[in-house]
């Protein structure tokens, strides 16, 4: 992948840095993709900077986080780039479903094995291989990276941090789908994209990956106590128990009164970026 395939779609000044949107043809997903990037002022001065990769949740594009979380002020102060992919393959030719929690906008960060999904829904490889190569090649990054995400994206962040060895210096999540093999969203997505082989599901399930002995970088999780998905979908208490049993370096915080929305993310994103900056130094 080269910069020749990368088109700058928009760029606006933000906290002395730039909020950008790019488009490229993805070989992994067999479609044209857009992604967003925030470059802090340090990067515009040609310093190479560390980055936080952000994975969004169900129904999101690459623009929900950049327009709603209010992360740019702190990213500018800390000198961190933000890399914000889309949540699924896109385009007319891409298979879809009418539901909000399957198909476009709901790629679940897996490599689909089932038809009609397998041709385009290869989000795990797209992000961990292709997109990271593209941004490393095109942007002033220093190679140090952490990962974070929300809900479906929190699941993706945990799974990538657990599977990609030392690629990420730290990992954080807001209300992650922590144990997708055991919740309705996960049953539907994994059954559809991966089929009935539950061994394969385990490769995309944070709780199962921790139980299998995978190493985890330092971890911060925030979970809203008034989140309407908490009881049925997120398995926060299973994650708490697993993290404790396997002695991970982790803070899991229940934030009373907060729901599942971007108001919750906006309330704690500063903590998360400060947390990542600690591990991205040096
Ligand atoms: N039925 C709802 C559910 C969609 C929703 O809440 N999406 C969240 C992520 S949920 C888990 O991945 C989200 O981030 N939405 C985008 C936003 O900007 O708030 C619905 O369709 O509204």
CATH code, domain carrying 209: 3.40.50.1820
Ligand 1 centre to CA of 49 (Å) is 31
Whether residue 277 is predicted with pLDDT greater than 70 in this model: the reply is yes
User: Is residue 125 annotated as a catalytic residue, yes or no?
Assistant: no
Which residues have CB under 6 Å of ligand 1?
A: 57-60, 64, 68, 100, 150-152, 260-262
User: Is residue 66 annotated as a catalytic residue, yes or no?
Assistant: no
What is the C-alpha to C-alpha distance for residues 252 and 1, in angstroms, rounded to an integer? 38
Whether residue 194 is predicted with pLDDT greater than 80 in this model: the reply is yes
pLDDT at 4: 61
Ligand 1 centre to CA of 57 (Å) is 6
Across-strand partners of 252? 221
pLDDT at 46: 81
Cα-based distances in Å from 83 to 12, 86, 159, 245: 15, 10, 17, 32
Over pLDDT 70: what percentage of the chain?
98
pLDDT at 29: 98
Closest ligand 1 atom to Cα of 261: 19
Total domains present in the chain: 1
User: Chain-wide mean pLDDT for the chain?
Assistant: 97
Average of per-residue pLDDT across 18-38: 98
pLDDT at 2: 53
pTM given for the model: 0.98
Closest ligand 1 atom to Cα of 57: 12
Which residues make Cβ contacts (< 8 Å) with residue 132, sequence separation at least 6? 53, 145
Catalytic annotation, pick one of 36, 66, 146, 151: 151
Q: What is the 3-state secondary structure (H, E, C) of 178-194?
A: CCHHHCHHHHHHHHHHH
Cα-based distances in Å from 100 to 85, 105, 112, 264: 18, 7, 18, 21
Domain around 120: 3-280
pLDDT at 215: 97
Instruction: Give the residue whose CA is nearest to atom 14 of ligand 1.
Output: 57
Average of per-residue pLDDT across 198-211: 98
User: Is residue 276 annotated as a catalytic residue, yes or no?
Assistant: no
Across-strand partners of 50? 80
Using a CB cutoff of 8 Å and minimum separation of 24, what contacts does 262-267 make?
262/64, 262/65, 262/68, 262/69, 264/174, 264/175, 264/222, 264/224, 264/227, 265/65, 265/68, 265/69, 265/150, 265/174, 266/68, 266/69, 266/70
Whether residue 1 is predicted with pLDDT greater than 60 in this model: the reply is no
Q: Are 79 and 45 in contact (CB under 8 A)?
A: no
Whether residue 234 is predicted with pLDDT greater than 80 in this model: the reply is yes
pLDDT category at 55 given cuts 50, 70, 90 is very high
Average of per-residue pLDDT across 112-127: 98
The ipTM (two decimal places) reads 0.94
How is residue 112 written in tokens? 């689909």
Average of per-residue pLDDT across 133-149: 98
pLDDT at 105: 98
pLDDT at 269: 98
The residue whose CB lies within 8 Å of the most ligand 1 atoms, and thus the one to mutate among 56, 57, 176, 233, is 57
pLDDT category at 282 given cuts 50, 70, 90 is low
């Amino acid at each position: 992948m080269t910069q020749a395939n990368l088109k700058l779609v928009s760029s606006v000044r933000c906290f002395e840095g730039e909020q950008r949107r790019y488009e490229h043809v993805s070989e992994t997903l067999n479609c044209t993709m857009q992604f967003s990037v925030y470059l802090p002022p340090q990067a515009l001065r040609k310093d190479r900077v560390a980055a936080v990769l952000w994975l969004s949740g169900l129904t999101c594009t690459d623009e929900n986080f950049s327009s709603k979380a209010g992360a740019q002020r702190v990213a500018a102060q800390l000198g961190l780039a933000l890399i914000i992919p889309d949540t699924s393959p896109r385009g007319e030719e891409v298979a879809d479903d009418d539901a909000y929690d399957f198909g476009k906008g709901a790629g679940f960060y897996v490599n689909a094995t089932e038809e009609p999904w397998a041709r385009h829904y290869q989000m795990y490889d797209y992000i961990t291989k292709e997109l990271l190569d593209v941004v490393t090649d095109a942007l002033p990054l220093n190679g140090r990276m952490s990962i974070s995400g929300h809900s479906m994206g929190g699941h993706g962040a945990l799974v990538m941090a657990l599977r990609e060895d030392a690629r990420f210096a730290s990992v954080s999540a807001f209300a992650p789908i922590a144990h997708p093999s055991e919740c309705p969203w996960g049953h539907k997505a994994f059954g559809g994209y991966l089929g009935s082989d539950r061994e394969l599901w385990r490769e995309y399930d944070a709780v199962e990956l921790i139980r299998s002995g995978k190493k985890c970088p330092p971890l911060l999780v925030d979970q809203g106590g008034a989140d309407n998905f908490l009881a049925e979908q997120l398995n926060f208490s299973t994650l708490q128990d697993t993290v404790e049993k396997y002695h991970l370096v982790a803070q899991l915080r229940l934030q009373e009164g907060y729901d599942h929305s971007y108001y919750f993310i906006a309330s704690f994103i500063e903590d998360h970026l400060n947390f990542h900056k600690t591990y991205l130094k040096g």
